[in-house]
């Protein structure tokens, strides 16, 4: 079977000088080493040189600066207040208690006593100074954690459903997420040399048998989901696996979705968010083969000339789904079978106590914006020391104290009370279904506040909902500080993306379980206009909705968007 001819003027087949400068940078980086080790030793700056900033992303490290003092420091003839964000690789968001305690210890020592649980189920340390990056990464290594590929043009952290409804399947999915993650991350020995101080080993083996010198065209996101929960937002993944089980609940295979992605670039209409397309079904034993096949198609055909057009979603749209299917099948040496039926009910978390069918208990704790400050870290450390199970970080930035034996439930309940966490879940439904990215002051991309602003905006929206008698209606609301979409705002029923300080684009009409993109409704508006618009829309929803109709669905049916 031969692939139909396709345009290859923008892909890896072209000489480097016809591709984006980042391709040359990767190619010449000596497999992601660059001059990182040297830059870390420069005592005159707490930054690293420009090219190393990009390379360090592949190592899970973002150079950032405190933007709230950037201009002030420039006038003071001081360099920006540089610091680093370090993102842990934590496939499936599964974290043992010893790892939890180590991460807490590192955040307390080096991360300004704060941690953030991300929308991709992992931890981010913020405010790490240059000379503390190595201690943090070595500290993680002590508990066998790393930060490889937590950022960069490579396969990012692999997600997996955390909903404890099917514990055996959940465990299996968690293990697969780990196996796939280990399989797809860069293999360069540079990571060991730079961060662990390992010696460079001379070898004739290729350092990157899969990626080669230029890695992927852009980031590549993989996730596993177990219906009916769509907690990981499968349609936002570049490559998504939807678990299909047999009559006994055993894993049989996966429906595969490709080409999802949230990011868009401000003022670049040719960029867009896209929900992933269902391409077919594969049996479970073909998982790695198909993963390699899909990733290699994107590696070889993805756009490397224009980074704004480099995500897999554009490759899928440019080549067409049929072409992609054919290319993947050829490389996998197997064919997709017709997709199996499945259905989702929600992409949110189920809060509080849940008993799974193996008789274990799980407690989902609401953590606003995923932010763990000193008080919460201290409280959770007490629980971590008593807890015999593990923790799971949810894709909605909450925390599951998982796998509690019935006889231990009382202990955990008591500790939740003692540590002041027992009432954390007593929140409005809109707050429990809201997410925000970090944005200002640390994120270099942010154009407006997000994490720091959403809680107060939610309080005002709660009042509106109460006025219209909608407090019992779960509505998803997600906010980001820029159009990049880290909190997956484009599949929320209400999406707000930052345009300028205090100004947001308002999107309405996303699917309640993440199956449908929302639509831009109002552009570049401030808080009064946001509240006024929502007030009017809530009024109509309260008056005109049908039984069981979600807010997002209503706005579409009513022709509001």
- Interaction site with other proteins (CB under 8 A): 43-46, 69, 72-79, 81
DSSP 229: B
Task: Please write down the HEC assignment for all residues of 231-266.
Answer: CCCHHHCCEEEEEEECCCCCEEEEEEEECCECCCCC
E strand spans, 16-173: 61-65, 82-87, 94-96, 114-117, 123-128, 159-160
CB 45, min distance to other proteins, A: 7
CB 72, min distance to other proteins, A: 7
> Residue 264: which residues within 8 A CB-CB, separation 6 or more?
271, 272, 273, 483, 484, 485, 490
CA distance 29 to 188: 11
Judged by CB, which is closer to other proteins: 74, or 467?
74
Q: Which of 99, 116, 221, 325 is catalytic?
A: 221
CA distance 540 to 559: 11
CB 75, min distance to other proteins, A: 6
CB 170, min distance to other proteins, A: 44
Nearest CA among 67, 66, 109, 104 for reference residue 88 = 104
CB 76, min distance to other proteins, A: 5
Helix (H) or strand (E) holding 279: strand 277-283
For residue 102, indicate whether it is catalytic. no
CA distance 32 to 431: 41
CB 246, min distance to other proteins, A: 59
Judged by CB, which is closer to other proteins: 131, or 460?
131
For residue 95, indicate whether it is catalytic. no
Judged by CB, which is closer to other proteins: 73, or 307?
73
Q: Which of 482, 488, 499, 516 is catalytic?
A: 482
For residue 77, indicate whether it is catalytic. no
CB 447, min distance to other proteins, A: 23
Q: Which of 274, 350, 437, 488 is catalytic?
A: 437
Q: Using alpha carbons only, how large is the chain's radius of gyration in Å? A: 23
CB 116, min distance to other proteins, A: 22
For residue 57, indicate whether it is catalytic. no
Judged by CB, which is closer to other proteins: 43, or 359?
43
Q: Which of 116, 187, 443, 516 is catalytic?
A: 443
Q: Which of 26, 33, 130, 156 is catalytic?
A: 156
Measured CA to CA in angstroms, residue 501 lies from 239, 419, 448, 459, 482 at distances of: 34, 36, 4, 20, 10
E strand spans, 368-511: 371-373, 390-393, 399-404, 434-436, 477-480, 494-500, 503-508
Residues counted in the chain? 561
Judged by CB, which is closer to other proteins: 42, or 270?
42
CB 386 within 8 A of CB 411: yes
Judged by CB, which is closer to other proteins: 81, or 487?
81
Judged by CB, which is closer to other proteins: 73, or 503?
73
For residue 151, indicate whether it is catalytic. no
CB 79, min distance to other proteins, A: 6
CA distance 299 to 310: 10
For residue 219, indicate whether it is catalytic. yes
**Exposure letters 134-169 (e unless 16+ CB within 10 A, then b):** eebbebbeeeebbbbbbbbbbbbbbbbbbbbebbeb
Measured CA to CA in angstroms, residue 393 lies from 89, 92, 125, 231, 399 at distances of: 12, 8, 15, 11, 5
Our separate counts of H helices and E strands in the chain read 17, 20
Would you report the helix, strand and coil content of the chain in percent, each value rounded to 5?
Answer: 40, 20, 45
Q: Order of strands across the sheet with 503-508? A: 434-436, 477-480, 494-500, 503-508, 519-525
Q: Which of 99, 116, 486, 488 is catalytic?
A: 486
Judged by CB, which is closer to other proteins: 46, or 272?
46
Judged by CB, which is closer to other proteins: 7, or 71?
71
Burial (CB count within 10 angstroms: exposed 0-12, middle 13-18, buried 19+), residue 341: exposed
For residue 156, indicate whether it is catalytic. yes
Secondary structure class of 480 (helix, strand, coil): strand
Supply angle C-alpha 329, 330, 331, rounded to 5: 90
Active site residues: 87, 156, 219, 221, 437, 443, 482, 486
């Amino acid at each position: 079977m031969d692939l139909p001819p396709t345009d290859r003027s923008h892909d890896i087949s072209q000489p480097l000088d016809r591709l984006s400068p980042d391709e040359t940078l990767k190619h010449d980086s000596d497999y992601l080493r660059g001059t990182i080790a040297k830059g870390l030793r420069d005592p005159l700056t707490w930054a690293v040189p420009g090219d190393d900033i990009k390379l360090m992303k592949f190592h899970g490290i973002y150079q950032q600066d405190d933007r709230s003092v950037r201009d002030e420091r420039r006038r003071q003839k001081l360099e920006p207040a540089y610091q680093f964000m370090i993102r842990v690789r934590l496939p499936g968001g599964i974290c043992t208690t010893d790892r939890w305690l180590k991460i807490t210890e590192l955040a307390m020592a080096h991360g300004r006593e704060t941690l953030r649980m991300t929308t991709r189920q992992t931890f981010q340390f913020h405010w790490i100074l240059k000379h503390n990056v190595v201690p943090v990464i070595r500290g993680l290594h002590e508990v066998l954690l790393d930060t490889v590929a937590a950022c960069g043009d490579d396969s990012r952290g692999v997600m997996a459903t955390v909903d404890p409804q099917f514990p055996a399947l959940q465990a299996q999915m968690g293990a697969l997420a780990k196996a796939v993650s280990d399989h797809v991350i860069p293999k360069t020995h540079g990571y060991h040399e730079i961060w662990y101080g390992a010696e460079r080993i001379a070898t004739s083996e290729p350092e990157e048998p899969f990626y080669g010198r230029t890695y992927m065209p852009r980031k590549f996101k993989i996730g596993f989901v177990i219906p009916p929960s769509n907690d990981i937002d499968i349609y936002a993944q570049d490559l998504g696996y939807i678990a299909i089980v047999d009559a006994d609940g055993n894993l049989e295979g996966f429906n595969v979705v490709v080409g999802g992605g949230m990011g868009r670039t401000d003022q670049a209409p040719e960029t867009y968010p896209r929900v992933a397309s269902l391409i077919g079904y594969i049996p479970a034993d073909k998982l790695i083969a198909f993963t390699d096949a899909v990733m290699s198609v994107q590696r070889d055909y993805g756009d490397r000339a224009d980074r704004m057009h480099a995500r897999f979603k554009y490759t899928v749209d440019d080549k067409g789904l049929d072409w992609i299917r054919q290319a993947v099948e050829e490389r996998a040496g197997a064919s997709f079978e017709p997709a199996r039926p499945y259905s989702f009910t929600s992409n949110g978390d189920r809060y509080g106590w849940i008993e799974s069918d193996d008789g274990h208990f799980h407690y989902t704790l609401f953590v606003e914006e995923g932010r763990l400050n000193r008080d919460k870290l201290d409280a959770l450390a007490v629980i971590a020391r008593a807890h015999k199970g593990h923790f799971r970080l949810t894709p909605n930035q909450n925390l599951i104290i998982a796998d509690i034996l019935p006889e231990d439930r009382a202990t955990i309940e008591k500790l939740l009370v003692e540590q002041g966490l027992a009432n954390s879940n007593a929140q409005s439904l809109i707050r429990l279904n809201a997410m925000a990215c970090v944005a200002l002051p640390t994120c270099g991309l942010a154009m407006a506040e997000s994490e720091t602003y959403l809680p107060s905006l939610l309080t005002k929206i709660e009042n509106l909902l109460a006025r219209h008698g909608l407090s019992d209606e779960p509505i998803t609301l997600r906010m980001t500080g820029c159009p990049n979409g880290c909190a997956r705002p484009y599949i929320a029923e209400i999406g707000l993306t930052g345009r300028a300080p205090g100004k947001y684009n308002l999107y309405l009409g996303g699917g309640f379980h993440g199956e449908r993109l929302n639509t831009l409704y109002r552009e570049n508006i401030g808080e009064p206009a946001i509240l006024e618009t929502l007030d009017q829309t809530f009024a109509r929803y309260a008056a005109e909705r049908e039984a069981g109709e979600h807010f997002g669905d209503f706005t579409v049916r009513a022709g509001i968007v």
